[in-house]
Structure 1
């Protein structure tokens, strides 16, 4: 059996990265957008596979382990039985619909009960996904959240725990979706991933389902928020880790300012001059160190082979369900051009791809910046996914 490949150990980081001291939080204003973002495309061209990044620990046994679970299909109160591998999964069951429900209950249908799987960005916590959970619950969707902390990849087990958690997630979702509701209805899944981290977790999930067409057909749609581009580019990896480490102090968290509002633009410039010099020097050094690190790591034979396998699945073996890409020209982590290239590649394969460019919002910040527009696009996409559910 091939041993796990340890990638991001403390010793490596100590040699390659600066030890960051605490710095005051940068106060920042979110610029008001005078006009809504325009749709780049919300076309109905077919869509299916993205690409991936994720140097989790690599073990041949992980690829061949059969999907099993102790999940009890008859449990209606709490569908997942917590284990060491699923302890970090959070299940949020939608309230049972009343007779006078106003919003359309897309997740609670006469023919199918749908659960949305929210795959967070690197460093996200469940509290960051709360608004997404509440909105999906209000539309009749059960919600499952899965997040990956920076320390899970950098310290101690060096990614082994994340790999095990993805396996646990897969087993539990397979157990749930393979069963039926008490009233006989089938079950389906909808994935909503954030950044390349969530997108690659989705790819790892699909990797474990290869050869199970019956299960892949139960995936009704996939939303890719701020991800799906340049998965093997060391600069993208470096930008993602830097953003996760620096959090709100990262320049990638800064919204684009509309120069039409001259006073606000001038204030922001002055603010950046006063507070940004020190952080920009730290961030620049960190990015440079991380880029060198990932230029080496991503070329390790086992890592490269693992990533290529997942990329190939995301490109050629995704389920035939609609995909929605939510992105922004102002994204400083995953370049918008790389996401657009990915979308075009999927369309050229006859896949149904939908997209929306928010233009000025930062990485994984589209919902907070444009809440009404974001939910409107999601709702329109759900209609497309439910058409597929009905046809199936």
Structure 2
């Protein structure tokens, strides 16, 4: 029997599950002051203590009333069919020697849950190839989706990395009536939601991502680090500028450490994961609350990996949620040895520390206007998570 507080608040279970799915946040960071069992209890029962309900609303960027309202059915993932057919690419493509994607099934076919459910075949297959150097290719046709997974060796000095252990599948929804199975057609809104959800899943679980055959990067080192700077408390933030760094483990890491170490020891540092990125808050101590410049002392830094496809246009790049969790924990506790990332090379002696730019807005970017940040798919499920300026659909 589930334990329920006497003053527990009843939430709309479908709405909470939808918002948690849409956030793309790892479960450990949604309720950071509670165990993941607390979140699972809320997702299973729809009840939460007042403290948990308010924290959940804050982390999902909604109000408590929003958590109690109905979610439109055309946006809710449960509107998607729950039974899907997965067809092994070993049965489709003979040009490459594929490892079987289907761990259990018949003749390369398997019936399983939705690809965006909490426990899904895509994540299980990705875990089979290991935790490092993951590459994902997403494709789609009118009603089918296709996933390809590979591992890659560390890239040589020049040229693309070497890929190995390829596996993949094609999948689509079906309806089962007794022993009979038939395709279930998807509406255009369901297709858009599924495509956006697959993008979100890939951004949080892989190191290289190709969409419909277009690979924008040869190696994670090709990704740049976009940092956006804000002033003011969260409800009244103002974007004051941006800066691009060349390397996650190089100039950005050095600039971040210098930035935090130079702060007043009374400044509270908090870091957490956001949609495909991280956010670092520098909160002034309470003794500054009566100072006229208190708002300017509250600073927020938002960090994303991006691929620069043309001058001023950026595409969001994958940044593994597990690595971001380790990174934000290291920043909050100021354990700098945890603030580097697997899969990205470490510049070491090749880094010119004297030329590392500070963690501050780049005047050149300000003069050229706002950077255009392009999400992989311009659906409402994505754009709602990018409420700041500079987002191009």
TM-score, normalization by structure 1: 0.28
For the pair shown, the structure with the greater C-alpha radius of gyration is 2
TM-score, normalization by structure 2: 0.28
Instruction: Please identify which structure carries the higher helix content.
Output: 1
